Amino acid sequence: MELHTVWFGLIAVLFIGYFVLEGFDFGVGMLVGTLSDDDTDRRVVINTIGPVWDGNEVWVITAGGATFAAFPEWYATLFSGFYLPLLAILVALIVRGVAFEYRGKIDTHEWRHRWDLAIFWSSAVPALLWGVAFANIVRGVPLDADHEYAGSLLDLLSPYALLGGLVTLTLFLLHGAVFVSLKTDGRVRHASRALAARLAPVTVVLAAVFLLWTHGLTGNLASAVASVVAALSLVAATLLTRTPREGWAFTATACTIGFAVLALFLALFPDVLPSTVPGNSLTVDNASSTPYTLKVMTWVAAFGTPIVLVYEAWSYWVFRKRISRVHIGPGVEATTQEAINEPSGVQ
Q: Is residue 124 part of a domain?
A: yes
pLDDT tens-digit readout, 77-102: 998 889 999 999 999 999 999 999 89
pLDDT score of 336 more than 80? no
The answer to whether the CB of 215 falls within 8 A of the CB of 260 is no
What CATH number did the domain enclosing 216 receive? 1.20.1630.10
In angstroms, the CA 80 to CA 69 distance is: 17
Overall number of domains in the chain: 1
Binned at pLDDT 50, 70 and 90, residue 1 comes out as low
Backbone angles phi, psi at 128, to 5 degrees: -75, -50
Total Cβ atoms within 10 A of residue 311: 10
pLDDT tens-digit readout, 212-232: 999 888 888 899 999 999 999
Which domain, by its residues, includes 230? 3-340
pLDDT score of 334 more than 60? no
The answer to whether the CB of 276 falls within 8 A of the CB of 138 is no
Q: Is residue 177 part of a domain?
A: yes
Binned at pLDDT 50, 70 and 90, residue 340 comes out as very low
Whether residue 270 is preceded by a cis peptide bond, meaning omega within 30 degrees of 0, is yes
Q: Is residue 347 part of a domain?
A: no
Binned at pLDDT 50, 70 and 90, residue 332 comes out as very low
Q: Is residue 243 part of a domain?
A: yes
Q: Is residue 79 part of a domain?
A: yes
The answer to whether the CB of 323 falls within 8 A of the CB of 185 is yes
The share of the chain scoring above pLDDT 90, in percent, equals 63
Q: Is residue 244 part of a domain?
A: yes
Q: Is residue 45 part of a domain?
A: yes
pLDDT tens-digit readout, 19-52: 999 999 999 999 998 887 888 889 999 999 988 8
User: Which pTM value belongs to this model?
Assistant: 0.90
Helix (H), strand (E), coil (C) string for the chain: CCHHHHHHHHHHHHHHHHHHHHHHHHHHHHHCCCCCCCHHHHHHHHHCCCCCHHHHHHHHHHHHHHHHHHCHHHHHHHHHHCHHHHHHHHHHHHHHHHHHHHCCCCCCHHHHHHHHHHHHHHHHHHHHHHHHHHHHHHHCECECCCCCECCCHHHHCCHHHHHHHHHHHHHHHHHHHHHHHHHECCHHHHHHHHHHHHHHHHHHHHHHHHHHHHHHHHCCHHHHHHHHHHHHHHHHHHHHCCCCCHHHHHHHHHHHHHHHHHHHHHHHCCEEECECCCCCCEECCCCCCCHHHHHHHHHHHHHHHHHHHHHHHHHHHHCCCCECHHHCCCCCCCCHHHHHCCCCCCC
Q: Is residue 75 part of a domain?
A: yes
pLDDT tens-digit readout, 229-252: 999 999 999 999 988 889 999 999
pLDDT score of 312 more than 70? yes
